[in-house]
Chains A and B, each alone.
Chain A
Amino acid sequence: MNILVCISNVPDTTTKVKFADDNKKLDIAGIQWVINPWDELSLTRALELKDVASSEVAKVSVAHVGPATSEPTIRKALAIGADDAYRVNTEATDAMQVAAELAEVVKSGSFDIILCGIESSDYNGANVGGMLAEFLDYTSVSGISALNVSGGEINVTREIDGGKEQLVVKAPFVGIVQKGIAKEPRIAAMRGIMLARKKPIQVSEPKQAESATALLGFEAPPPRAACKFIDADNPKQLISLLQNEAKVI
């Protein structure tokens, strides 16, 4: 069984974002780029499944749609333990384009489980996984918080709105992963970093999928009112403010 983990390259989650070019572009000066947190957890789980004794997972690959400047992030995924990588050489402008390009990668290889994070921490779209599944006409399971493979059977837990379900899924499928799938992201060890240098990254040119959206510009979120402090000796006042001033309880 082969697993493909789709990874997105995003600003470190503590970044205070700034914009350039008349608020039309992200100002990338000084940004630290990382693997999108959910993708990192998916990769960790895929590797855990590969590392067990008599594992049924033969290979873990990663795929990324992005320019050469995102290679450090791909190398990081290889250093963590992925066997090889695919990169589609284009700067996509929306999720539809990314998914269309990833679909080409999937078709070019032989993958049973394709994992995507539930969203990327930059544009918070939550779209690529589902779109990819539809381009491929595969089943997709969203909100996955546990993944197991045994006896050729794939078991997942997914969160539904108001509960959880244990499922058996037939491969190939696209799994859209949320938190819980792995406890902590795996960290690259020195040996991994050395090995990663020699692991292959297969670069392909885009099929030039069309974008369905256009980003017109960014705006700062509206400012919030300053905090009103209530004396710790009189917490009752908080309840009365919430009842009579904010009118929310």
Chain B
Amino acid sequence: MSIIVYTENWDGKFKKLSFELSSYAAKLAEMLNEETIAISIGRVEAEELKKLASYGIKKIITVTDDRLQTFDSRTYTKVISDICAKESAQVIIMANNNSGKSLAPRLSVRLKAAICSAAHELPESISPFVIRKRVFSGGALARTELKTDIKLITLTQNSFDLCESPVDVVIEAFTPEPEGASPAITIKEQEKQTGKVLLADAEIVISGGRGMKTPDNWGPLEELAELLDGATACSRPVSDEGWRPHEEHTGQTGKIIAPNVYFAIGISGATQHLAGISSSKYIVAINNDKDAPIFEAAQYGIVGDAAKILPQLVEAVKESKAS
């Protein structure tokens, strides 16, 4: 029996979430007294693969089949479930991102595995297997029992601390069986974000709302994000107005993120906005209305004009970097 981690890489380098998932799996492996195995799809050099061993992964199964260059949830599900069957998976752990959301539900049906999605912590008990998850967009936690023999957990990114526990690792290649059917999807165009910190992966997020007044005021906000190695985000009306791209919209109907710190600048803090960001470790609010609900969610706040405060924050970060 084993605990399987579905890792992800970006141009051959593991995403940080892969190490988070591995750390989580290693802890769970202690609770269940089992081995951890990672799946890596795509070309990743041995040197990079071995990084997983620092987080307690004892075996890595690599799949480098060219047919998996197109992300088709059906083909991926087949490959992953074949590996899970071969390795007698007991728990499968994936990220709660686009890939995880495409694959986990399919795997859950295929493997008859109960699923806890968007988990942020280890199970409170393993027999019965009970785990808490956020529901009602952060308004409550639900204690849920996973009743099946095989279990699936998708973990919220940036919610579980990295934990080094170096072990020896073996690397094994897996060759998937040829698929009979021709692929049902064809990629016509791909746009990859480069050189920017991705919002879902970011530990620091600087977000602007309608209180930023006009799209021309985003200069210092972007500068602050860049200085801090953070990502930029926005509230829904801002993306609806076309001031910022849709991918930046956070909240109930946008991205749900959990960075270490979220700066809400000129954002009122509507429930639907908070739904996407309330798992952030710290929330910083800058708003000229001292009664804005965002201050109830924030740990640090400044009551004042964003247009005046932002440039000063940029200066402060520059100064602290210089010293």
Bound Cα distance from A159 to B191, whole angstroms: 10
CB distance from A231 to the nearest CB of B (A): 8
Annotate B272-290 by CB proximity to A: 1 below 8 A, 0 otherwise: 1001001001101100000
Annotate A200-236 by CB proximity to B: 1 below 8 A, 0 otherwise: 0000000000011111111111001111111110011
Of the four ranges (under 10, 10 to 19, 20 to 34, 35 or more), the interface on chain B belongs to 35 or more
Chain A binding surface SS class: mixed
Bound Cα distance from A180 to B244, whole angstroms: 13
Q: Are A215 and B144 in contact (CB under 8 A)?
A: yes
A81 within 8 A of B: no
Bound Cα distance from A122 to B118, whole angstroms: 13
Bound Cα distance from A215 to B135, whole angstroms: 12
Residues in A whose Cβ lies below 8 Å from that of B97? 161
- The chain A residue sitting closest to B203, CB to CB, is A248
CB distance from B318 to the nearest CB of A (A): 10
Bound Cα distance from A14 to B298, whole angstroms: 19
Annotate A138-172 by CB proximity to B: 1 below 8 A, 0 otherwise: 11111101000000000100111111111111100
Q: Are A162 and B118 in contact (CB under 8 A)?
A: no
Q: With contacts A161-B98, A167-B186 known, what are 6 further pairs, Cβ within 8 A?
A: A96-B108, A134-B77, A139-B74, A165-B187, A238-B300, A248-B282
Partner pick for A129 among B105, B132, B300, B312, CB 8 A cutoff: B105
Chain B binding surface SS class: mixed
Annotate B287-323 by CB proximity to A: 1 below 8 A, 0 otherwise: 0000000011111111111001100110111011000
Partner pick for B99 among A95, A161, A229, CB 8 A cutoff: A161
Q: Are B106 and A212 in contact (CB under 8 A)?
A: no
Taking each of B198, B204, B299, which has the highest tally of chain A beta carbons within 10 Å of its own beta carbon?
B299
Q: Which of A47-55, A57-65, A71-79, A239-247 faces chain B?
A: A239-247
Q: Interface on B for A, CB 8 Å cutoff?
A: 8, 10, 15, 71-74, 77, 96-99, 101-110, 112-118, 130, 132-148, 184-193, 198, 200, 203-204, 228, 240, 246-247, 249, 252-254, 256, 260-261, 271-272, 275, 278, 281-282, 284-285, 295-305, 308-309, 312-313, 315-317, 319-320
Q: Are A125 and B106 in contact (CB under 8 A)?
A: no
Taking each of A141, A161, A218, A246, which has the highest tally of chain B beta carbons within 10 Å of its own beta carbon?
A161
Bound Cα distance from A126 to B99, whole angstroms: 12
Residues in B whose Cβ lies below 8 Å from that of A140? 73-74, 102, 106
Bound Cα distance from A121 to B202, whole angstroms: 24
Residues in A whose Cβ lies below 8 Å from that of B316? 235-236, 238-240
Q: Are A131 and B145 in contact (CB under 8 A)?
A: no
Q: Are B106 and A130 in contact (CB under 8 A)?
A: yes
CB distance from A28 to the nearest CB of B (A): 13
- The chain A residue sitting closest to B296, CB to CB, is A227
Q: Are B145 and A216 in contact (CB under 8 A)?
A: yes
CB distance from B269 to the nearest CB of A (A): 11
A113 within 8 A of B: no
Partner pick for A169 among B184, B193, B309, CB 8 A cutoff: B184
Assuming the contacts A16-B139, A163-B192, asked whether A38 and B105 have C-beta atoms less than 8 A apart, the reply is no
